[in-house]
Amino acid sequence: MVDRRRQQIIEMACKRFADKGFIGSSMRDLAADMGLEAASLYTYIKSKDDLLEDICFSIGNKLINAIAEVNDIYFNAEEKLRMAIKNHVEIICANPQASKVFTHEWRHLQEAKKTEFITLRNQYEQGITEIIDTGITEQIFIEDDKRFAVLTILSAVNWISEWYNPQGKMKPNEIAQKLADFVFTGLKKTI
């Protein structure tokens, strides 16, 4: 059951990294959270960097898969963007701590992995951009500044992990709904 224990450690690391940051979290603190000594962690993980990579790419891959699915299945641009936002919000709300790590701590990845990560992120950004493009072609979105629109949408979505409270009244699909509405009336052509 090495994998199971490893997963527990990663979950605990998410909490610590999200709260104190990657560098601000020591292996001894993390071990203490698990009721272990620091050295014992190394039965289950390769290194501290290993933890960060796992967390960052776990969220990254979830997002990439989600956007790929959307761009494969849904045709209408509005539907696509709504679906993409919904997926993104749900991924963040299902993994709020990991998402904070994904957003804030990726820069501490080893150089090679950092490059790989940035490529993944650009790929996702490209996925969103394609949806906007479709909307412009369909003439339901105003063409003004594509990149600006994408960045603003992504910032709003990414920031959710900063304030989202699983115990709060606002549920993920409600958040997605509101956010999409907000974004749309800012993008849609109103004759």
Q: Which residues of the chain form contacts with DNA (CB under 7 A)?
A: 1-2, 5, 25-29, 31, 35-40, 42-43, 47-49
- Residues sharing a CB contact under 8 Å with residue 101, sequence separation 6 or more, in sequence order: 14, 17, 18, 22, 52, 55, 56, 59
DSSP state of 167: T
Alpha carbons 81 and 74: distance in angstroms, whole number: 9
Q: Please report, as a single letter, which amino acid is at residue 94.
A: A
87 vs 161 by CB, closer to a copy of itself = 161
Q: Please report, as a single letter, which amino acid is at residue 133.
A: D
Alpha carbons 179 and 48: distance in angstroms, whole number: 36
When asked if residue 122 is in the footprint of a copy of itself (CB under 8 A), the reply is no
24 vs 186 by CB, closer to DNA = 24
5 vs 113 by CB, closer to DNA = 5
Near a copy of itself by CB under 8 A: residue from 148, 165, 166, 167: 148
When asked if residue 104 is in the footprint of a copy of itself (CB under 8 A), the reply is yes
Quote the tokens at residue 184.
Answer: 């749309």
What residues pair up with 61 in beta bridges, in sequence order?
none
How many whole angstroms from its chain centre is CA 12?
18
Quote the tokens at residue 167.
Answer: 């115990």
When asked if residue 152 is in the footprint of a copy of itself (CB under 8 A), the reply is yes
Task: Specify the 3-state DSSP secondary structure of 188.
Answer: strand
4 vs 169 by CB, closer to a copy of itself = 169
Near a copy of itself by CB under 8 A: residue from 7, 79, 138, 182: 182
Near a copy of itself by CB under 8 A: residue from 28, 46, 171, 178: 178
Residue 59 CB, nearest distance to DNA (Å)? Answer: 21
29 vs 145 by CB, closer to DNA = 29
When asked if residue 151 is in the footprint of a copy of itself (CB under 8 A), the reply is yes
Which of 59, 66, 64 is CA-nearest to residue 83?
Answer: 66
Which of 105, 62, 91 is CA-nearest to residue 157?
Answer: 91
When asked if residue 23 is in the footprint of a copy of itself (CB under 8 A), the reply is yes
Contact residues toward a copy of itself (CB under 8 A) are 19-21, 23-24, 104, 107-108, 144-145, 148-149, 151-152, 154-156, 158-159, 162-163, 170, 175, 178-179, 181-186, 190
